[in-house]
Structure 1
Amino acid sequence: MKYNIRGENIEVTPALREYTEKKISKLEKYFTDTAEAIVYVNLKVYNDKKTKVEVTIPLPHLVLRAEETNSDMYAGIDLITDKLERQIRKYKTKVNRKSREVKAEDFFVTTNKNKEEVDDNELEIVRTKRFDLKPMDSEEAILQMNLLGHNFFVYTDSETDTTNIVYRRKDGRYGLIETV
């Protein structure tokens, strides 16, 4: 894997770069082909001395992404590696289960460890809702979302007639996902 490590309000020292690459490279064991994978790592330090580690790994069939806030940068890197490993295990189990059904080729390294199996209840749909997508603009969609007390809201954009999603970000501001 190739690494693109950036720092915001922090200098990425050789020691920090080496530690980050060493920790994240442990994820390579889960994939059969990572030659073209680029790992994007963003290290931030805020005024309140909190640090944030963001990692994005775009792969051919999925994008792994995680972020972790911690008072210690090195602890944040450790935690984010664990978080990404859990994501991989969960996704790997799901893909391998489907590939057994369809006989599809897997891009994960196969292992025989039962501890990596994901509990079926984690992927169980417990409630289904149906509703009409009312045409509106993004501001009205945010108002509707807030009235309902949800973290996201799906609507039809009145100008483009496409399905869009507004969501509340962790920083309290709003995001918009536009479909194409």
Structure 2
Amino acid sequence: MQITTTFRHMEPSEALKSYAEEKLERVKKYIDEPIVVQAFLTVEKIRHKAEVTITAKGITIKAAEESNDMYASLDAVGDKIERQLSRYKERIKAHKPAAEGKSRQVQKSIVQAEGLETPAAAPVIIKTKSFSMKPMSVEEAVMQMELLHKDFLVYTESSTENINVVYRRKDGNYGLIAPERV
């Protein structure tokens, strides 16, 4: 397990770093290796905020907690991550596992937009990110979207191998965009 700890607006502390590592080591019992953990510890005036992102085989989980004490924030975010992972593990037991080994490489680009008043010649790509997508069912995609706290998720449907989009609607329900064969 690889843990990266970043301190923002505070002095790096070996005691805090080892405490964070000790708290985050407990996630090993829920997910398989390899696990990459990024912990961001931030102090803003009197607020002590701990943010954690865990990336493992097929899943990414994010959580953040804040309090008046960094150790309390680390305890709270560790407990929150454990609850999310146990819920994920229970849900995954109920689903038939997707075909292993099949995944797609996807590239995401962010385009710089010009002002509305001035006509733009051509958009400029300012950021590109590549990631692999494992095939999953609609239920798994919704669960992954919830774990990531996102409003939409692009994924490969395991039964058809088509690229689909699941999104959160304003009424709280979910929508699915699936390609239609012509």
Q: Displacement, 1:12?
A: 2.2
Q: Displacement, 1:153?
A: 8.5
Q: Displacement, 1:104?
A: 7.0
Correspondence for 1:37 among 32, 35, 40: 35
Give the Cα–Cα distance (whole angstroms) in 2 for the partners of residues 46 and 103 of structure 1: 43
Residue 134 of structure 2 corresponds to none
Correspondence for 1:59 among 56, 59, 72: 56
Q: Displacement, 1:64?
A: 1.0
Going from structure 1 to structure 2, the CA distance change for 1:153 and 1:14 (only over 3 Å counts) comes to closer
Q: Are 2:76 and 1:79 equivalent residues in the alignment?
A: yes
1:24-57 deviation digits (Å, cap 9, x = unpaired)? 10111112x32x321100000002x111100001
Give the Cα–Cα distance (whole angstroms) in 1 for the partners of residues 37 and 12 of structure 2: 15
State the one-letter code of the partner of 1:21: E
Give the Cα–Cα distance (whole angstroms) in 2 for the partners of residues 153 and 75 of structure 1: 29
Residue 26 of structure 2 corresponds to 26
- Greater helix percent: which structure? 1
Give the Cα–Cα distance (whole angstroms) in 2 for the partners of residues 51 and 90 of structure 1: 27
Going from structure 1 to structure 2, the CA distance change for 1:55 and 1:153 (only over 3 Å counts) comes to closer
Give the Cα–Cα distance (whole angstroms) in 2 for the partners of residues 88 and 6 of structure 1: 23
Q: How does 1:2-151 map to 2 (within 5 A)?
A: 2-31=2-31, 33-34=32-33, 36-47=34-45, 49-99=46-96
Q: Unpaired segments of 5 or more residues in structure 2?
A: 101-112, 114-149, 153-164, 168-182
Q: Displacement, 1:62?
A: 1.0
What is the root-mean-square deviation of aligned Cα atoms in Å? 3.0
Give the Cα–Cα distance (whole angstroms) in 2 for the partners of residues 58 and 81 of structure 1: 15
Give the Cα–Cα distance (whole angstroms) in 2 for the partners of residues 3 and 20 of structure 1: 9
State the one-letter code of the partner of 1:81: G
Going from structure 1 to structure 2, the CA distance change for 1:76 and 1:90 (only over 3 Å counts) comes to same
Going from structure 1 to structure 2, the CA distance change for 1:76 and 1:96 (only over 3 Å counts) comes to same
The share of aligned pairs that are identical, in percent, is 32
Residue 104 of structure 2 corresponds to none
Q: Displacement, 1:60?
A: 2.1
- Greater strand percent: which structure? 2
Going from structure 1 to structure 2, the CA distance change for 1:103 and 1:5 (only over 3 Å counts) comes to closer
State the one-letter code of the partner of 2:4: N
State the one-letter code of the partner of 1:42: F
Q: How many residue pairs are counted as aligned between the two chains?
A: 108
